[in-house]
Structures are given as C-alpha cells and as structure tokens.
A = this chain, B = another copy of it.
Amino acid sequence: MFEGRRIQAQLLKGTLPLLVLATLRDTELHGYEIVKRIREQSSGTFAPSEGSLYPVLHRLETEGALEATWRAGDGGPRRRYYRLTRAGLTALERAEREWSTFAGGVRRVAFEGPSDA
C-alpha cells in the first residue's frame, strides 16, 4: 500500500510535534485520524505508531498547545478530538522556524561543499 520506505526511527525524533501541530492547523481530528493524515501526506514515509503519538498529544495538551474534547464515536468507541489553541499556533510557527533552521543547516553541511559557502 504505502510503498514509500520507512525512515530510520532516529531521524523522526523531535519532529513529531511539528507534524502533529501542522496536521491540526485547519481541522480538529482524533488520534487515529492524525496518524492516517500524516501517513498519507508523507506518502508513507512517516507512520508514527500509537505508542509515539498519544504521549505527544498528551504532552501538547498539557503544555496548552492543544485542546481536546470527547465525542461519541460514530459506531465505535468515543473519540478524543484535538484542536490547536492560540498558543498551539505559536508553537507551530516556532516549530516551523526551528525545522527550517535545522534543515538549512543540514543542507549547508551535507549538500553544499565547504567551498561554495
């Protein structure tokens, strides 16, 4: 199904919050759906496990970046819908900047020779 090769686990470290916050930028979603979106958007490159996702959601909620509400499941168990708070939007913007800095650094070191600075 998802042929995109999975990425070394270590690389993903630290990016999950960014991915989650970005996924919730315009919609509110519940956990399973968040994983699904991330997997689809990344063409299967990322497939965070539940053991990774839920702790992150809880941490972001504790930090005030996300708000959550329980809703009755549509023919299934209840779901917890998460949405971005104002603080969450700020956190998202910060995470985006941080990612850009990070990715830019890797590009300079790894893809631009020492001479073409």
Hey, what's the 0/1 contact readout for A5-20 against B, CB within 8 Å counting as 1?
1011111111100110
Instruction: Give residues of chain A (47-70) contacting chain B, Cβ–Cβ below 8 Å.
Output: none
Q: Once the chains bind, are A45 and B104 in contact (CB under 8 Å)?
A: yes
- Report Cα–Cα, A22/B114, bound state, in Å: 10
Interface size class of chain A, counting residues whose CB lies under 8 Å from the partner chain: 35 or more
Interface residues, chain A, with chain B CB atoms under 8 Å away: 4-5, 7-15, 18-19, 22-23, 25-27, 37-38, 41-43, 45-46, 95-96, 98-99, 101-106, 108-114, 117
Residue in B8, B41, B109, B113 whose beta carbon sits within 8 Å of that of A114 in the complex: B41
Q: Once the chains bind, are B11 and A42 in contact (CB under 8 Å)?
A: no
11 interchain pairs, CB-CB under 8 A: A7-B98, A11-B13, A11-B15, A11-B102, A12-B102, A18-B110, A25-B113, A37-B114, A41-B117, A42-B105, A42-B109
